[in-house]
Amino acid sequence: MFNKRSFLAIVVSIIVVGTSTYSFLLYLDRKEYRNYLQAQYQRSLYDLISNVDGIQVSLSKAQVTATPKQALILFGDIWRQASIAQDKLNSLPISHQAIGQTTKFLTQVGDFCYSLLKTVNSGQSLTEADMNTVEKLTDFAGYLNVQLHELEREISAGNIDWTEIKDQGSSTFNRNLAETVDVKFERIAKELQEYPTLIYDGPFAENVLNIKPRVLKEKEVSLDEAKKIAADIIGKERVASISQYSDKTSDKVPTYALSVKVRGRKDGDINIDISKNGGHLVYMLDSRSVGKETIKIKKAVDIGIKFLEKHGYKSMIPTYALKYDNVAVINYVYVQDKVVIYPDQIKLKIALDNGDIVGIEAQHYMIAHTKRDIQKPRISVDEARSNVSTKLAIKNVRLSIIPMESMKEVFCYEFYGEYKGEKYIVYINAMDGTEERILKLIDTPNGELTM
């Protein structure tokens, strides 16, 4: 019988369940908000690091530029990136007292470079004092860069939680976290004697992707033909089966995305993309584990060249090599009539345990490669050399074709040299002597440049 006691029990149950559900929903909302904040702060830190990277590199380039046109571009970039970096820094949950000096530095870099931009634009020359200041700012930007990367690593390793820092004051633990970040920035303001660390990913990698793929003019191949091409590349004797796992029609270069099961291997398939136009290899990744290194980088470079020649990519030379987890990552560039064609590049990953090709990225080559009509330079190498800063100790000169943001290719003399222990490449237009581009080469702990 439904009596008063039963009624009360039901009411109490409803209240308990309702309260529990409400508390759980609040917990989910709070968790979601914390995740959102964490992502926002992570992004701000990433953008801050990216802009400080850019400031440091542009300041370095400014020291070796010899033309007003390049100087205007570089100082304009620094001014813009300094402003963005300040905005990102101030959006992080760090006390203004701690970041005061860093903010001041970014403001001074931006203001100083803006003043240099106006000086150059008015036709005046920069003084020796101006360039000395640029050099000092480069050193400090390098130190700031190192410290920011270190902070990012600590956060990624779980040692620091941005949301805990934002809630500082709620506990001694949270206050300690906040102090950790504050101390980091206070140290940045005091110390200047460090060196920068950046990752160098080969010249002109992004410019090429903006060009309309030339391979799209070639005849389309069928899925079965693509499977045969994939089997030939991997080795028919190694292939147990091939299946299509995706149809990448929206990619820059449309491909058949294939998955290859290897005979005698229980896991770790090979993914390989074959272009629908022309049936060319665009991408490959073998996910097998790589054992202890038994092959040196130099031998891996030769293995890569032989692999490319075997599969129709002839006249390729290495431009740089890096090493990660016993795998060599090597960039190869096409050469025509002794001219280095930077748009036509292929990246290989070679396992250093037995020399297997475990990764290929050939999209740049597919997009840009064609037979070019290369004219003779209108200016001599000595005339071009006169347009390179005398500060650069030139070690090597060769002709090259580089891609520009305007989608055009430019025929250049490539001057490779050093200034104060740093490596640079200066590109002088071989037709009119314009200083087209300056690249700074950065060695990493994982690799060496092969120029």
- 297 within some domain: yes
SS (H, E, C) the chain: CCCHHHHHHHHHHHHHHHHHHHHHHHHHHHHHHHHHHHHHHHHHHHHHHHHHHHHHHHHHHHCCCCCHHHHHHHHHHHHHHHHHHHHHHHCCCCCHHHHHHHHHHHHHHHHHHHHHHHHHHCCCCCCHHHHHHHHHHHHHHHHHHHHHHHHHHHHHCCCCCHHHHHCCCCCHHHHHHHHHHHHHHHHHHHCCCCCCCCCCCCCCHHHHCCCCCHHHHCCECCHHHHHHHHHHHHCHHHEEEEEEEEEECCCCCCEEEEEEEECCCCCCCEEEEEECECCCEEEEEECCCCCCCCCCHHHHHHHHHHHHHHCCCCCEEEEEEEEECCEEEEEEEEEECCEEEEEEEEEEEEECCCCCEEEEECHHHHHHCCCCCCCCCCCCHHHHHCCCCCCCEEEEEEEEEEECCCCCEEEEEEEEEEECCEEEEEEEECCCCCEEEEEEECCCCCEEECC
Burial of 375 (0-12, 13-18, 19+ CB in 10 A): exposed
Which residues are bridge partners to 60 per DSSP? none
pLDDT at residue 129, rounded to an integer: 77
359 and 396 share a domain?
A: no
347 and 398 share a domain?
A: no
Q: How many residues does the chain have?
A: 451
- 395 within some domain: yes
Amino acid symbol at 73? I
Final residue in a domain of this structure, among 331, 363, 395: 363
- 373 within some domain: no
Task: Determine the Cα–Cα distance for residues 367 and 1; give it in Å rounded to an integer.
Answer: 81
Name the one residue in this structure whose structure tokens are 């030379």. 317
Task: Determine the Cα–Cα distance for residues 26 and 36; give it in Å rounded to an integer.
Answer: 15
121 and 267 share a domain?
A: no
pTM, entire model: 0.62
* Domain count of the fold of the chain: 3
442 and 330 share a domain?
A: no
pLDDT at residue 132, rounded to an integer: 82
Residue 98 C-alpha from the chain's centroid: 30
Judge contact between 414 and 427, C-beta under 8 A: yes
Residue 96 C-alpha from the chain's centroid: 31
441 and 409 share a domain?
A: yes
Task: Determine the Cα–Cα distance for residues 92 and 38; give it in Å rounded to an integer.
Answer: 10
Task: Determine the Cα–Cα distance for residues 348 and 333; give it in Å rounded to an integer.
Answer: 11
350 and 397 share a domain?
A: no
Strand-pair category, 422-429 with 393-403: unpaired
Parent domain of 416: 381-450
Name the one residue in this structure whose structure tokens are 């795998």. 327
pLDDT at residue 197, rounded to an integer: 29
Task: Determine the Cα–Cα distance for residues 432 and 446; give it in Å rounded to an integer.
Answer: 38
355 and 426 share a domain?
A: no
Burial of 281 (0-12, 13-18, 19+ CB in 10 A): buried
145 and 60 share a domain?
A: yes
45 and 184 share a domain?
A: yes
- 7 within some domain: no
Question: Which residues in 102-123 are b (16+ Cβ under 10 Å) and which e?
Answer: bbebbeebbebbbebbebbeee
347 and 257 share a domain?
A: yes
- 412 within some domain: yes
Q: In CATH, what number is assigned to the domain containing residue 132?
A: 1.20.120
- 374 within some domain: no
Both structure tokens of 387:
């347009």
pLDDT tens for the 451 residues of the chain, in order: 556 777 777 777 777 777 777 776 776 666 666 677 777 788 888 889 989 999 999 999 998 888 888 888 898 889 889 888 888 887 787 766 667 667 777 877 887 888 788 788 878 888 887 888 888 888 888 888 888 888 888 777 766 667 666 555 444 444 555 556 666 666 665 553 343 322 234 455 545 555 678 788 889 999 999 999 999 988 889 899 999 877 766 667 888 989 899 888 877 788 899 999 999 988 888 878 888 999 998 999 999 999 999 988 999 999 888 777 788 889 999 999 999 999 899 989 899 999 999 989 888 888 888 899 999 999 999 999 999 999 999 999 999 999 876 668 899 999 999 998 888 889 999 999 988 888 877 665 555 554 4
Count CA atoms within 13 Å of residue 279 on its CB side: 17
pLDDT at residue 125, rounded to an integer: 83
- 207 within some domain: no
184 and 58 share a domain?
A: yes
Task: Determine the Cα–Cα distance for residues 42 and 311; give it in Å rounded to an integer.
Answer: 43
Burial of 286 (0-12, 13-18, 19+ CB in 10 A): buried
Both structure tokens of 451:
């120029």
Both structure tokens of 321:
């090599």
pLDDT at residue 208, rounded to an integer: 54
- 93 within some domain: yes
86 and 220 share a domain?
A: no
Judge contact between 367 and 208, C-beta under 8 A: yes
